[in-house]
Every structure is written in C-alpha cells, then in structure tokens.
Amino acid sequence: MLRKQKCFEALREAYPGRRLLIVSNTAGASSWDRDGKLAAEVQKATGVAVLSHQVKKPGCGHEIMAYFQKHPETGVTGPHQIAVVGDRLATDMMLANMMGSWGVWVKDGVVPHQQKSIVSTMSSLARSSSHTDAPQFSRSERSLAPYLFARGLSAPEPSSPFE
C-alpha cells in the first residue's frame, strides 16, 4: 500500500490544486450522494476535489468541462488536455472517448473487480432478495477488453481543434 500512496502523492504534486478532479458515479453524483457527504469525505481523505454532478458517467463530460472553465488556473481549455483514469470501460473509458479526452484504463485497481461497481453491490442485494440474474458489468468488461484489443480496436487519439 505504501507504493500506491507514494504514487498518488507524486500525482498530486505533479498536478497541484484543482488540476486533479475525482468524478464518481457515487461520490458527488446527485442521484447517489444527494447531500454531498460522501463527496466531502472523499475530498477530505484524498485532498482532491470531487465533482458534484447531475449526469452520471459517461454522460457528464459537459459538467467536467464546466468545472475546468470555472477554474481557469488549471490551464485546461479543452478536453484534449484531460486524461480520464478509471477502472470501467463502459463508464470511464467511454466518457474519455465521448469527450475527446485521453483514457487510461486501470484494469486491476485497488478494489477487487467483484466489488468495483454499484452494479456489483446491487447484485449482492439482489441475490439476498432471491434475484440472481443481476448484471455484472465489471466482470464482463474484463472479457470485453481482450476481445476488442484482439480485433485491433482502439480509441482515437485526442486532438485540439487549434492544432
């Protein structure tokens, strides 16, 4: 854990202030974190701003850009200057692609893939309610990625309209 903590500290040092932003479909999402308490806890624990947003990933690109426009000190003027780092193909990487941003997929994150998403949590709840067919998106993404890569599919490289 010490290595991951050092890497995170190096990231915060390289991108100080509001240049790092956490965008979560739980913390900060108005449908999940209505009172903002979870976002405040994450922000306090990480020292990184958490976006308060109405639309969940992958559809919140306009809210991310509005955040950076509100904070010009970040130097971000377009989506081509943003790297979306995430562990979900269907939300994080799709968001990056839809925005025209860089996408960095972290296949194996801190949380085991069985526990990565709200869908997995919902599936646990569904199983306890005798519903066993709830989707496991996080698990299926682990199979989808090699399938797509084997067929030579890749995301387009972001570019600035000014280049």
Provide the whole-model pTM: 0.74
Share of the chain above pLDDT 70, in %: 77
Q: What is the DSSP string of 96-141?
A: HHHHT-EEEE-SS-SS-GGGSSHHHHHHHHHHHTT------HHHHH
Residue 68: count of CB within 10 angstroms of its CB: 20
The model's pLDDT over 31-55, given as tens digits with 9 standing for 90+, comes to 999 999 999 999 999 999 999 999 9
Domains of the chain: 2-111 (3.40.50.1000)
| Residue 109, pLDDT score | 60
Closest CA to 50 of 69, 78, 25, 73: 25
The model's pLDDT over 92-136, given as tens digits with 9 standing for 90+, comes to 999 999 999 999 988 766 555 555 444 444 444 344 443 333 345
